[in-house]
Amino acid sequence: MTDIQGYKGVSYNLLSKSKVSIGDFIDVKTNNGSIQGSLMPRYEYADDQHIVIKMSNGYNVGLRTKKIISIKLITKRSAPSFQPPKTPKLDPKLPKVAIIGTGGTIASRVDYRTGGVHPQFSTNELYAIVPEIGKYAQIHTKPLLNIYSEHINADHWNIIAEKTVKEITEGFDGIIIAHGTDTMGYTSAALSFALSNSPVPIILVGSQRSTDRPSSDAALNLIGAVASVTRIPFSGVYVAMHGSVNDSTVAIHRGTRVRKNHTSRRDAFQSIDVSPVAFFKDEKVEVLTEDLPLKNSSLQFKVRCQFEKDVALIKFYPSFNYKLIDHLVDSGYRGIVFEGTGLGHLGEDCYQSIDDAVKKGLLVGMTSQCIWGRVNLTVYDSGRDLLKIGVIPLGDMLPETALVKMMWALGNAQSGKEAEILMHENIAGEYLERSTFERRKKYEFI
């Protein structure tokens, strides 16, 4: 059986006829002479007209099948002999930290022959790659899931929450969750509600540049997360990511107030309407706020990790068709969070559909598509109309946080009324009492 991953059609037939596998060192005779090298795998979406080999100088080239006269095997691929790193010595005086892996590789190893990246998640390997974490804590890695964050759903939040509770009960002093960045803000909100008053801090961490490159932001983010989870005095759920485009500062954001605001920059994550909770810089953690619940407090650790999936987040736009609301109601949805315009408005042809939805028992909440700032439904008539219908104004809660909260409220409450009460309650800093002036620019470029 030959292993010729990714090849199909013409190139597949050519390779299987030649009885060569990925990694084999082969000689390819073409119209323009011979080229020798190792057979490489093919990308899934690439055409079937080329085969790819890695020449001895390390470069890959694609050879057109039409021009190939023959392929000869020179040597079979030998498996690389990987040498696992030694077990590091853990300092028993340091706090114990568990790192739960959900995917999005924090540490990885490159296969130069195939170009693939092997995710590494054993404790030993993590220490070998980012030895600095040993300064702050005794680390234990806990692989849990291995999925891209865009594939994460509410079931996974439940799995992650339960695993976190398990590690907290086993006596860890802090929990780190390695997570893909695309939906990290949603997961951090989900855990903030599911694990209120956690006795120890929980920090999600990811990277904007993959870890197979020397410039990856993963290592610094991880170091910042480990240092912060052992040093911040607070309970609760946070996100640790680069505070600027420099490799110098890691910002610690509150789990319900953080948003990914750039597709690719290292400092894509920002705290909205509030300063980050803390910064890690030059091996020190600077705490910037005082008014958060302290860890190991007498407050009861409440684990409520059910989520109702039938909740929609809808962005209103000019020409929005109210039938979309009717459709959600007919499909059995239990809640809708709107991203309204400005202070929280919708076009008037939606009112009837929303009224029907509320009457049928759906929770309907209002946030603003402005991202920054809070909704206010009493300033204009349109707002008052929505209030009268029964739309719940969600203050300055982020739209994504509001969605997650409604999923959580409906998942854990016994009744719609109870869920509505939970929506009004400030569970994990999702509501801010004050709108302070321009704090969002303050920490750029440090």
Partner 1 sequence: MSLFEPEEIGLKVGLEIHQQLNTPTKLFCRCKKFEDSFVNTMYRTLRPTQSELGKIDPAARFEFEKNLRIKYEIGENSSCLVELDDEPPHSISMEAVKTSLIIGLALSSNPINELHVMRKIVIDGSNTTGFQRTLVVSTGGELKTSNRSVPVQAIFLEEDAARLLGDSKNKRNYGLDRLGVPLVEVALAPVTTTPKEVQEIAYALGRLMRSTRLVSRGLGTIRQDVNISIFDGKVVEVKGVQRLDLLEKIINFEALRQKSLINLKDELINRGLIPEDFQNKPSDITALFQKNNNTILKKVLKKDMKIYAVKLKKLSGILSFEEFSDVRFGRELADVARFYGISGLLHSDEIPGHGVTSIEVKKIRQKLHLNELDGFLLLSGEKGKLEKASEAIQKRIQSAFSGVPAETRGPTPDGKTRFIRPRPGSARMYPETDIPPITISSKLVNELKRNIPRPWEEQILEYISKFSLSRKLAIQIYDSSFIDIFEELANTTNVPSSLIAATLTETVVNLSRAGLDTTILTAAMVKSLFTTLDNGIVSKEAIPQILELILKREVKNVEEAIEKIGLTALTDNKLFVLVKTIIDENRELIDEKGIASFSNLMGQVMSDARGRVDGKKVSSILKSELNKTLSLDNK
Q: Is 29 noted as a catalytic residue in this protein?
A: no
212 binds partner 1 (CB under 8 A): yes
Give the one residue of 1, 89, 215, 332 binding partner 1; rule: CB under 8 A. 215
Nearest one of 303, 301, 321, 335 to 406, comparing CA atoms:
335
Q: Considering Cα of 187, then 192, then 193, then 195, what sign does the dihedral take? A: positive
Determine, following the binding rule CB under 8 A, whether residue 58 of this chain makes contact with partner 1: yes
Q: Is 105 a catalytic residue?
A: yes
Active-site annotation holder among 181, 211, 230, 341: 181
CA distance 404 to 256: 10
DSSP 56-97: TTS-EEEEEGGGEEEEEEEE--------PPPPPPP-TTSPEE
Does the footprint of partner 1 cover residue 126 (CB under 8 A)? no
Residue 155 CB-density burial (10 A; 0-12 exposed, 13-18 middle, 19+ buried) = exposed
In the region spanning residues 84 to 103, those forming contacts with partner 1, defined by CB under 8 A, are 84-85
What is the rounded distance in angstroms from the CA atom of residue 27 to the CA atom of residue 24? 10
Residue 72 near partner 1 by CB under 8 A = no
**Terminal Cα-to-Cα distance of the chain (whole angstroms):** 56
Contact 363, 391 (CB under 8 A): no
| Residue 128: CB minimum distance to partner 1, A | 8
Do 402 and 338 touch, CB atoms closer than 8 A?
no
Of 29, 140, 209, 295, the residue at the interface with partner 1 (CB under 8 A) is: 209
Is residue 69 involved in binding partner 1 (CB under 8 A)? no
Closer Cβ to partner 1, 244 or 306, answer by number: 244
Residue 337 β-bridge partners: 313, 365
Binding track, positions 29-48, relative to partner 1; x by CB under 8 A: ---xx-x----x--x--xx-
Of 22, 26, 39, 52, which one interacts with partner 1 (CB under 8 A)? 52
Q: Is 247 a catalytic residue?
A: no
Tokens 């039409």 correspond to 66
CB of 281 to partner 1, least distance (A): 11
Q: By CB under 8 A, how many residues form the interface with partner 1?
A: 58
Taking CB under 8 A as the criterion, the residue among 21, 48, 64, 347 binding partner 1 is 64
| 179 within 8 A of 104, measured Cβ to Cβ | yes
Residue 113 as a binder of partner 1 (CB under 8 A): the answer is yes
Cβ 77 to partner 1 shortest distance, Å: 12
Task: Give the Cα-Cα-Cα angle 325, 326, 330 (nearest 5 degrees).
Answer: 120
User: Which is closer to partner 1, CB of 67 or CB of 359?
Assistant: 67
Name the catalytic one among 105, 230, 256, 367: 105
Query: Which residues lie closer than 8 Å to 326 by C-beta, 6 or more apart?
Result: 353, 356
30 catalytic per annotation: no
Question: Is the CB of 41 or the CB of 342 nearer to partner 1?
Answer: 41
Could you give the C-alpha distances from 383 to 97, 246, 316, 360, in angstroms and in order?
Answer: 47, 43, 14, 21
Question: Does residue 281 interact with partner 1 by CB under 8 A?
Answer: no
Which positions touch partner 1 (CB under 8 A)? Answer: 32-33, 35, 40, 43, 46-47, 49-50, 52, 54-64, 67, 80-85, 108-113, 115, 118, 120, 125, 128-129, 208-209, 211-216, 219-220, 245-248, 263-266
Q: Which residues are catalytic?
A: 105, 181-182, 260
